[in-house]
Amino acid sequence: MFEKNESPLDRVVRAVVGGGLLAASLASLGLTTGKPLGIFFGAVGVVLLFTAATGTCLLYKLFGISTAKQH
């Protein structure tokens, strides 16, 4: 659907940070109880996991950035 604009390292970092944020928001920041900080970090974690899975960052696209290796 979208052209990949993330390098493999970028994707791994996003997956690790996104997973950590999502886990922290579930475990201690109050995502399940509806606390705003938990909701915020949970949402950021989900977005990072999504971009890691797809290899496409819409902010990168908006600003013309690409960490993917160009052929």
Q: Is residue 2 part of a domain?
A: no
Torsion, Cα 31 34 37 43, to 10 degrees, reads 60
Residue 71 lies in a domain: no
- Give per-residue burial for 50-70: e unless 16+ CB within 10 Å, then b: ebbeebbbeebeeeeebebee
- 71 token code pair: 């052929």
Answer whether residue 32 is part of any domain: yes
- Digit-coded pLDDT (tens) for 2-61: 889 999 999 999 999 999 999 999 888 887 788 888 899 999 999 999 999 999 999 999
With respect to residue 31, please indicate whether it lies within any of the assigned structural domains: yes
CB 51, CB 28: distance < 8 Å: no
> Which residues does 24 contact at the CB level (< 8 Å), separation at least 6?
41
Residues spanned by the domain of 35: 8-63
- Count up the domains in the chain and report the number: 1
